Amino acid sequence: MDLFELLNFYIVPGVVLGSIYALGAVGITLIFGILRYAHLAHGDLATLGAFLALAVVTGFGVSPYAALPVAILGTAAVAVGIDKVFYEHLRERPKIVTVMASLGIALMIRAVVQVVWGVDTQTYTRGIVRPEDYFGIRVRDRELYTILAMVVLVGVLQLFLTRSKWGKAMRAMSDNPNLALLSGIDNKKVVMLTWVIAGGLCAASGFFLGINTELKAMMGWHMLLPMFAAAILGGVGRVEGAVLGGLIVGVAEEVSVLFIPSEYKAAMAFAILLFMLLVRPTGLLKGKVL
Amino acid sequence: MELLGLVNYALFMAIFICIYALLALGLNIQWGFAGLFNAGIAGFFAVGAYTSAIISTPPADGRIGGFDLHFVVGWIAAMLAAALVAWPIGKICLRFRSDYLAIATIGIAEIIRLVIKSEPALTNGARGISSIPRPAGDLAYMESQIAYLVIVLAVLIAVYFLVERQFNAPWGRMMRAIRDNEDAAKAMGKNVEFRRLEAFIFGAALMGLGGALFAHFNRSITPEAIDPMVATFLIWIMLILGGSGNNRGAILGAAVVWIIWSVSEIATDRLPTEYAVQAKYIRLFLIGLMLQLVLRFRPEGLLPEPLRGDQRVTKSGTDQS
């Protein structure tokens, strides 16, 4: 096998898949770092985002990319709403209770998707897209957009977290909640902001998975494990770590097909997760361990 | 005739309640005693079901076994196999907070699902394993149902007394101490990780046994027999509604939730087909909502955990790190 074959069939799809995982993993790492629990409904929130975009596409006949901002806003609103209705009153209880609640939320979101959009697989657009050739590396437009969108969204988020007042407040809550609260940071606003960001990125992740493959009710649930593996691999609480982790998990899954039966592709994320917990639970970029 | 059908249905339901009660007891050891979050119950259930099936079926072509051994051997093997799967997961994840265990158990359930689907040599693929011998299965239909109910009930009662005894024994006290205040338990010289591992493995073994009982009752096991998410979630809501930390609560919860679940299935099956599929998902939505409501308004469940000793301050589980 030559280098281009490896790049075209394994590395490029891996990076695309990795970008999709990264978008979700950033949200997971933020929630893990700031609110301090594992949010198990994250994958299904991504499913919801993907289907919201589908509703806009089929309802108004616009291009999928025009539907993306609507899906991002809609899912962010849903995420904030879920937090207000279901998670907020569990804040004083042990965090694991919220983890349990989020498992129930995952089931509920999926049920809503299945009731509203049915259980058949769907797509945003029909027809086959041929990849374009860039110096021997073949990439489809939508794959390019996926990677670009991930870089832009995470870049903007990183700027927000490091430069703006509220971004700094979020990082402060992640580093030391007691000290942050003492210095007068409004916990409620930080929590809300976290959900807006996590929900929005979730929708983007689901949308790009949908546009690169297809939409189905279980699409998000199957992304949950790789997204968590990415967040832990990169280091919990580290945004750039989640991106790095996402890319590694995505590429590892695609390349693994060369060595193990393709049915077990999904097991790669699990193997990475256990391996990291075993040898370096803080992740590649020194994150937190809860 | 109508009455006979009703009795048959009641028997069927009672057997399922016993099996689910067993699973809920297993989860109670993990969550109620030790505060461990297992989101992969269906995985351990499947391991138990397939192990017992392989051990006790007559030899078949194209897959390992069957070994045609007595069903009791199969049940014991099911418990051992489930424990064996739980061991490495617990070993790696129990050093951390239970969130990691939750993710890892979702993962292991997913891997087990993949193995079942793609290793025909082990599980006979999508067709599954059939002709699993059922204890007292040679009798007439009604007698055989009654006989199986008696067997399952006997297992459940035996397990209940064993678990209840553990709960009141020093071991149970120690587990609750670890759950409620890990640091204090550590300071008292308790080996927290090892004890958690014990609880995790015991619970998983019971889930394996539940899987075996299910497989022998159905006489077959296929990959479609268990929807991982639904099975896992039903057992969680059973335990939480019944009262985690209370064995009788776990059994009561299993009965209540299973009755609601299957009666609502009868109701939705009467709907015209175009609504029946949607109704199935509405039921899932409602069961998820039920968990949220219980967590909010009655977190201690129908039968709260019995408090022993000093009852002045019982604020448990302040694990804010």
> pLDDT by residue (tens digit) across A161-171?
999 999 999 99
Q: What is the mean pLDDT of residues B57-62?
A: 81
d(CA B103, CA A227): 11
Q: What is the mean pLDDT of residues B260-277?
A: 82
Query: A67-85 burial by CB neighbour count: b if 16+ within 10 A, else e?
Result: bbebbbebbbebbbebbee
pLDDT of the residue at B313: 47
Query: Between chains, do A278 and B287 touch, taking CB under 8 Å as contact?
Result: no
Number of separate domains in chain A: 1
Identify all chain A residues contacting B42, using CB atoms and an 8 Å cutoff.
none
Identify all chain A residues contacting B284, using CB atoms and an 8 Å cutoff.
107-108, 110-111, 114
pLDDT digits (tens, 9 = 90+) for A86-110: 999 998 888 889 999 999 999 999 9
In a domain, A236, yes or no: yes
Predicted confidence (pLDDT) at residue B273 exceeds the cutoff of 90:
no
In a domain, A32, yes or no: yes
CATH number, domain containing residue A56: 1.10.3470.10
In a domain, B163, yes or no: yes
pLDDT of the residue at B1: 57
Identify the CA nearest to A42 among candidates A85, A90, A82, A88.
A82
pLDDT of the residue at B20: 95
pLDDT digits (tens, 9 = 90+) for A125-174: 877 778 887 887 788 888 999 999 999 999 999 999 999 999 999 999 98
In a domain, A230, yes or no: yes
Identify all chain B residues contacting A93, using CB atoms and an 8 Å cutoff.
299, 317
Tell which of A274, A276, A282 to mutate to test the B interface (max B CBs under 10 Å). Answer: A274
In a domain, B241, yes or no: no
CB contacts under 8 A, B 89-148 vs A, are 89, 92-93, 95-100, 102-104, 106-108, 110-111, 114, 117-118
Answer for the pair A219, A210: CB distance below 8 angstroms, yes or no.
yes
Q: What is the mean pLDDT of residues A236-255?
A: 94
In a domain, A284, yes or no: no
pLDDT digits (tens, 9 = 90+) for B109-118: 999 998 998 8
Min distance A232 CA to chain B CA atoms (Å): 10
Nearest to A267 among B39, B97, B111 (CB): B111
In a domain, B290, yes or no: no
In a domain, A185, yes or no: yes
Identify all chain B residues contacting A249, using CB atoms and an 8 Å cutoff.
none
Identify all chain A residues contacting B95, using CB atoms and an 8 Å cutoff.
281
In a domain, A190, yes or no: yes
Q: Is B299 on the interface with A (CB under 8 A)?
A: yes
In a domain, B211, yes or no: yes
In a domain, A286, yes or no: no
pLDDT band at B4 (very low <50, low <70, confident <90, very high): confident
Report CA B5 to chain centroid distance, whole Å. Answer: 28
Nearest to B281 among A36, A93, A114 (CB): A114
| Chain A, nearest residue to B181 by Cα | A94
CB contacts under 8 A, A 227-286 vs B, are 228, 232, 261, 263-264, 266-267, 269-270, 273-274, 277-278, 281
pLDDT of the residue at B308: 65
pLDDT of the residue at B66: 74
Q: What is the percent of chain B with per-residue pLDDT over 90, rounded to a whole number? A: 51
- Range(s) of the domain holding residue B190: 11-226
Number of separate domains in chain B: 1
pLDDT band at A255 (very low <50, low <70, confident <90, very high): very high
pLDDT of the residue at A1: 67
Query: Between chains, do A225 and B106 touch, taking CB under 8 Å as contact?
Result: yes
CB contacts under 8 A, B 42-71 vs A, are none
pLDDT of the residue at A100: 92
Residue with the bigger pLDDT between A188 and B66: it is A188
Predicted confidence (pLDDT) at residue B318 exceeds the cutoff of 70:
no
Q: What's the ipTM?
A: 0.91
Q: What is the mean pLDDT of residues B40-48?
A: 94
pLDDT of the residue at A166: 93
In a domain, A251, yes or no: yes
pTM of the model: 0.91
Identify all chain A residues contacting B237, using CB atoms and an 8 Å cutoff.
104
